[in-house]
Amino acid sequence: MQKTVQKRTLKTRARLIEAAEDVIERNGYQALRVEDVVQAAGVAKGTFFSHFRDKDALMEMLIGERLVACFDQVEQGPVPRTAPEIADALQPIHAFMTSERYVFDLIIRYSGATAITEIGPIARCFERYVRLVAGWLETAKVRKDISPDLLAEGVQAFAIQSMSLKFCALHEAESFSDRLEIYLDAWLTPAN
Amino acid sequence: MQKTVQKRTLKTRARLIEAAEDVIERNGYQALRVEDVVQAAGVAKGTFFSHFRDKDALMEMLIGERLVACFDQVEQGPVPRTAPEIADALQPIHAFMTSERYVFDLIIRYSGATAITEIGPIARCFERYVRLVAGWLETAKVRKDISPDLLAEGVQAFAIQSMSLKFCALHEAESFSDRLEIYLDAWLTPAN
DNA sequence: TGAAAAAAATGACCACGGTCAATTACAAAA
DNA sequence: TTTTGTAATTGACCGTGGTCATTTTTTTCA
């Protein structure tokens, strides 16, 4: 009935995370290999997997952390009131999400909590995105015939669409932010 | 200077594809293992990789083929004229895309031609989606203050959003088609 | 037809994520 | 302090995608 957690555990876990962050700093997320991490942390491979379900679980944690930091930063800024201002305000979040193709793919993959997994930091960020934008929209100069929540979900959909296109060899004509602004303009502009 | 293609090549390739389709029919796309395919086809593993760049390349081909068939089917049907009709008309495409989580993820991953890869069948389908919907929108009862192309891109964005949510443990309240209809209604309804 | 060249196929091998029975370190009870 | 149960760690091993030097088959051309 007792499940003591030894101090050693926390230390090992911290070493693994620090090692992983070092590896990522050097070569990016995409290139991270579990072997490199355990070697840098000075533990056996099996230890890694008793701390993290699998490689993706570590990645979700690390990328999720950074994503949360982006949200914190955005929430510090001023409240945007127009479509271009909204696109601009969200920029730090979008920039991180598209910093690496691997990062974008993983975020999308974890954006919804799957049946098995309990809800993780990335899925929470997707809810937070909608709440954040919906909050802005309540006082912004946008159409009022549609609820802020629905409008915010649309903003998310358009942002993902724009980000996908960023990794697309076609469509490289327009930049990401130009495209997003066009979408948001069309979606948020008051009907008149 | 000469690069003859032997008949044998085509036969082997056909055997591999047929074997793969058999394996998929039995267990779905997700569970396909290259070893099963080569064994069923009666060739060595290396042969597989001289016919397909990697496992994903085979999958892109097979899933792309099915997706193209869905588009062909949808294009046979009558031209929809309202938001609900459009959602309905697209249903076969969306149904296949969400038939398996693996299928959806792979389609999203290949939806834009990456720098390296030349444009494949799935990326082509994404362009076709926009063209198809834009064509419908020209004569549909929808807002006219925005170009059909832009409207169609929005439909695509909302469809992807709805499909993502289908795999999400949260948000299971509304069904996929209900959600898509709500989005399309808001996006396509004439401003007045 | 036979030899040389090109194309295709082979399978042993590697990389890397992930597993698990065995071992070691720890902490509470005696 | 010693004993004992459990938490934590280990590393040999596995599965599966992918590579490549070698062998086999086919084609070309004298």
* A18-32, A64-78, A117-131, range with the lowest pLDDT: A117-131
**Is there contact between A76 and strand D, defined as CB under 7 Å from any strand atom?**
no
Per domain, the residue ranges of chain B are: 1-52, 54-188
Q: Is B115 on the interface with A (CB under 8 A)?
A: yes
| CA angle, residues B20, B165, B138, in degrees to nearest 5 | 90
Is the minimum CB–CB distance between B23 and chain A shorter than 8 Å? no
Express each pLDDT in A158-171 by its tens digit.
Answer: 999 999 998 886 66
* CA–C1' gap, B36 and D19, in angstroms: 19
Look-up of token digits 């999308």: A108
Say whether A169 and B119 touch across the interface (CB within 8 A): yes
Give the pLDDT confidence score for residue B173 in this predicted structure: 61
Q: How near does any CA of chain B get to the CA of A151, in Å? A: 9
**B136 neighbors B86 (Cβ within 8 angstroms):** yes
The verdict on a CB contact (< 8 Å) between A105 and B101 is no
Q: Which residue is nearest to nucleotide D20 (CA to C1')?
A: B46
Helix, strand or coil, per DSSP, at residue B61 = helix
Inspect the interface and report whether the beta carbons of A157 and B153 lie closer than 8 Å: no
- Could you give the CA distance from residue A91 to residue A103 in angstroms, rounded to a whole number? 16
Segment among B16-25, B61-70, B162-171 with least mean pLDDT: B162-171
Q: Which burial class, exposed, middle or buried, applies to B145 when counting CB atoms under 10 A from its CB (0-12, 13-18, 19+)?
A: exposed
- Strand D bases within 7 angstroms of protein beta carbons: 6-13, 16-21, 25-29
Q: pLDDT tens digits, residue range B103-155? A: 999 999 999 866 556 789 999 999 999 999 999 999 999 999 999 999 999 99
pLDDT, residue B118, reads: 77
pLDDT 10s digits, B60-77: 999 999 999 999 999 999
Cα B19 to Cα A31: distance, rounded to the nearest angstrom:
33
pLDDT at A67: 98
Average pLDDT over residues A137-149: 96
Looking across all nucleic acid strands, the nucleotide with the smallest C1' to CA distance from residue B52 is D18
Distance in angstroms (rounded) separating the CA atoms of residues A51 and B37:
35
Q: Is A168 on the interface with B (CB under 8 A)?
A: yes
User: CB contact, 8 Å: B87 with chain A?
Assistant: no
CATH 1.10.3470 fits A54-188, yes or no: no
Position B32 scores a pLDDT of 98
CATH of A1-52, one of 3.40.50.10790, 1.10.10.60, 3.10.20.740, 3.50.50.60: 1.10.10.60
A153 contact B CB<8A = yes
The pLDDT tens digits for A85-119 are 999 999 999 999 999 999 999 999 999 866 556 78
Q: What's chain B's length in residues?
A: 192
**Helices and strands, number each (H, E), in chain B:** 10, 0
